[in-house]
Amino acid sequence: MTEKNESFQSLYERDIAILKDYGGIKQKLSLNRSLRRKGYELDEKRPERGTCNLTKLDESLSRTRSTLFELAYCNKFELFVTLTLDPKKYDRNDLKKFKTDLSHWLRNYNQKHKTSLKYLLIPEMHKDNSWHMHGFIMGLPLEHLTENQNGYLDWFAYKEKFGFISIDPIRNREAAAKYMTKYITKDLSKSVTELNANMYYCSQGLNRAVEKKRGTLSANNIPWDFINDYCKVKWFDRFEDATDLFD
């Protein structure tokens, strides 16, 4: 075995199961084919942004979808929003300025109105290369919203600053979280990579799933809910049902 292979073997663990608590509502058991050991780094040059091969890209997209679902599910987001720009006010092709100005504006909004508004947003490019964002918001008081002539909710403060907005109450947190992950695609990865941007933006301090157990599984007949080349996933409603599967 070469020195590089020995380094790789010491860096990664194989077939490691992790049990995480998602907000006290569900338990996620994942069996990972290959998992980096905590505190270890591989001593080799990392590839430049945008140069990874398709396998690495698929793995990256899978991780991003998993993280996005975790953030969406573990926080009590109340509103699903689509944020667009008025071309008379903004360059709709400038994602960096859109993200920067929106982040600053939301921070100032919280300070001005004594609110604790938090967000989770995904950029999406139109066919004409203009940008808008889909995502979740929580902490926005209902009295800050008005009903427009079509019977939908409007946030006048956003419209005055940026342009157009669509708002819908979130009625099923799990379904909404799953829906959000569909926006994480190879096309999105390509378009944001070219801009050195991110596939999603979120407030600091959002809740994350809490790891409860890590190790190897004694059971080999688990009816997995999801399987791909990198991991297997099973969801449980009760913590005890999952812990019984470990060695």
Range(s) of the domain holding residue 221:
13-42+52-73+208-243
The pLDDT tens digits along the chain (247 residues) read: 554 454 445 577 788 999 999 988 899 999 988 777 665 544 444 445 444 455 677 778 888 898 999 999 999 999 999 999 999 999 999 999 999 999 999 999 999 999 999 999 999 998 888 999 999 999 999 999 998 887 788 999 999 999 999 999 999 999 999 999 998 988 888 888 777 778 999 999 999 999 999 999 988 889 999 998 888 999 999 888 888 898 8
Q: Are residues 163 and 226 in the same domain?
A: no
**φ, ψ (nearest 5 deg) of residue 216:** -110, 155
Q: Which residue reads 């109340």 in tokens?
A: 78
Query: Which residues face 124 on adjacent strands?
Result: 132
Q: Are residues 111 and 189 in the same domain?
A: yes
Q: Are residues 37 and 93 in the same domain?
A: no
Instruction: Provide the number of structural domains found in the chain.
Output: 2
Q: Are residues 166 and 104 in the same domain?
A: yes
Neighbours of 192 (CB within 10 A): 20
Instruction: Report the alpha-carbon distance of residue 73 to residue 99 in Å, rounded.
Output: 23
* pTM for this prediction: 0.82
| CA distance from start to end of the chain | 30
Structure tokens at 154: 């409007």
Q: Are residues 58 and 110 in the same domain?
A: no
